[in-house]
Structure 1
Amino acid sequence: MSRRSGIIALQRLGVLVVLLAAWQLMSGRVVDDFFVSRPTDIASTWWGWLTGGELATATWSTLSAAALGFAAGAVLAVAVGYVLGSSPRLAVVVEPFITAVYSLPKVALVPLFIMWFGIGKPLQVISAAFITFFLMFYNTFFGIRDVDAALVDAIRVMGGTRRDVALRVRLPSALVWVSAGLKISVPQALIGVVVAEMLASDQGLGYLVQHNASQFNAAGTFAALATLLVIGLAVDRLVGLATRRALLWKNIDKGGAP
């Protein structure tokens, strides 16, 4: 870690400490702690969940469903996005239907998913996959369409097959768009799972949020939300690191530092 990065990390830690201290002091004095609890009470609740195993079980349920849903949605989205992006005639026919479904409020479809797939893990996975598909589809679709036609023609003139065009030109060129889709869709897949857990589940972090809120347990609600906040931030940073590494070739190609 560089000196500048260390200073920034300390500044962020300082801001967090100040905010938590202000929260602790104002709770019960300025704002009724029934509504906002106290950081110390939230930490106590969170520690109880951690030592009792509830937190690990809920976190695994949420993350595993989000990972499965994201993987399924992303693979299907890249495949469909590539096919439609490579075939303008087919895209003209099919793309409006995809856009029409995408325009529907995602939460409004959860009751329908419950009818089809029941509650629990299947519902969570489908919700994550549904959200992931559209975000990854559009980034892949426009990324493939953005590929320079001259590069495709050059590969074909040199005797390249469709496989060569896909693996050596279109997919690498669209990697920037796909990486942007990852940055957006991974956190959204997590959100999809949490929403499904809040509406129809008896497990996961979303269930912890809903259950504690329904019991008017502010400490438990904030503890679950804090866990989601930390996980969301960690996932965002990991995805950012992965996409930066995947795009090192682009910086090198431009003469930049890897």
Structure 2
Amino acid sequence: MNIETVVTPERDEAVAQVATAEKPARKKRGRKAWIQTSSRLGAVVLFLVLWSLAAGTLVDTFYLPEPTEVAGEIRDWIVDGSLWTNIMATMVPAAQGFLIGGISAIVLGYLFAMSKVVSMVLEPFVAAAYGIPVVALVPLLILWLGIGSSLAVGVSAIVVFFLIFYNVYFGIRDVKQEFIDQVRIAGASQWDLVTRVRIPSALVWVVASLKLAVPHALVGVVVAEFLTGSEGLGYMLSSNAAQFNAAGTFASVVVLAAISFALDRIVFLISRRALMWKEAAEH
């Protein structure tokens, strides 16, 4: 008798029971997602209605333009192509700053965590530098890097570096020595400890820090553009504000909010998958 002819019916019945049990849970998740989406859309609609009612009645349109005026500004930017040009002028330095700051933070964070001497001597200085507002460093960065995209990349890299550095540092130090000893007893090499224990442990912390690091990379570029830029979303914001163009200023903020929301959703999906991996590894 073939073993599969005996096992298959039982296995099929078990699979059917699991599938039946999962249907209510799947429906519940779908209903919850629909409620969340509907509630968020309702909040947006309510906000726009209140905004429309307040503009021109409670608040002068010089300070609070109509939502239609803001939408008109964004439409004009799309038509003349300036919106995409300025978005790219901001996103490219933000991506470059994120990569430079992130890679530097991972390398130095690992070095500090692995060397007690380096950590003991230099970590207080890193903490002191972390306490300095980035805006206060802009004049120094202008002296070193000049103005333009290089300044934006530098500001973004500094912001990202400190947000990721400490997550790598504490993530590697969070690995319990007892676990490392057990892996060594099992015959793991130093390379195995690095690639299969320390880095995966820190990776979860790094992914968690993306929630702050990714949008702050954008914030760093916008700050640099706001102060010295000649293009980009920060420049759009500052130039419209300087011209007392409330609709253009609000439109710049809306575009930045939309980009930040999109980045947040992307980071959320990445973070959720990483946390699921961690939870599965623990079980």
Q: TM-score, with normalisation over the residues of structure 1? A: 0.95
What corresponds to 2:18 in structure 1? none
Q: Is the 8 A contact 2:204 2:274 kept in 1?
A: no
What corresponds to 2:261 in structure 1? 233
Structure 2: how far apart are the matches of 1:196 and 1:158? 51
Letter in 2 for 1:39: P
Q: Cα offset for 1:226?
A: 0.3
Alignment equivalent of 1:72, drawn from 76, 100, 105: 100
Alignment equivalent of 2:227, drawn from 190, 199, 223: 199
Structure 2: how far apart are the matches of 1:25 and 1:243? 39
- SS of equivalent residue, structure 1 residue 34: coil
- SS of equivalent residue, structure 2 residue 63: helix
What corresponds to 1:245 in structure 2? 273
Map 1:45-60 to 2 at 5 A.
Answer: 45-60=73-88
Does 2:127 align with 1:99? Answer: yes
Q: What is the number of residues matched between the two proteins?
A: 255
What corresponds to 1:139 in structure 2? 167
Structure 2: how far apart are the matches of 1:141 and 1:147? 11
Letter in 2 for 1:61: A
- Identical columns (%): 47
Alignment equivalent of 2:242, drawn from 214, 222, 225: 214
Does 2:194 align with 1:166? Answer: yes
Could you tell me which runs of 5 or more consecutive residues in structure 2 were left unpaired when the two chains were aligned: 1-28
What corresponds to 1:179 in structure 2? 207
Letter in 2 for 1:78: I
What corresponds to 1:153 in structure 2? 181
The structure that has the greater radius of gyration is: 2
Further displaced range: 192-201 or 174-183: 174-183
Letter in 2 for 1:161: S
Deviations 1:170-216 (A, max 9, x none): 11122222122211111111110100000011111000000000000
Further displaced range: 146-155 or 122-131: 146-155
Structure 2: how far apart are the matches of 1:112 and 1:162? 41
Q: Cα offset for 1:251?
A: 2.0
Deviations 1:34-72 (A, max 9, x none): 011110000000010011111101111111111110011
Structure 2: how far apart are the matches of 1:162 and 1:121? 41
Structure 1: how far apart are the matches of 2:45 and 2:218? 27
Letter in 2 for 1:195: V
Q: TM-score, with normalisation over the residues of structure 2? A: 0.87
Structure 2: how far apart are the matches of 1:143 and 1:4? 33
Does 2:70 align with 1:42? Answer: yes
Q: Cα offset for 1:254?
A: 4.2
What corresponds to 1:110 in structure 2? 138
Could you tell me which runs of 5 or more consecutive residues in structure 1 were left unpaired when the two chains were aligned: none
What corresponds to 2:152 in structure 1? 124
Q: Cα offset for 1:156?
A: 3.0
Structure 1: how far apart are the matches of 2:180 and 2:187? 11
- SS of equivalent residue, structure 1 residue 202: coil
What corresponds to 1:62 in structure 2? 90
Deviations 1:144-170 (A, max 9, x none): 111111222233334433221111111
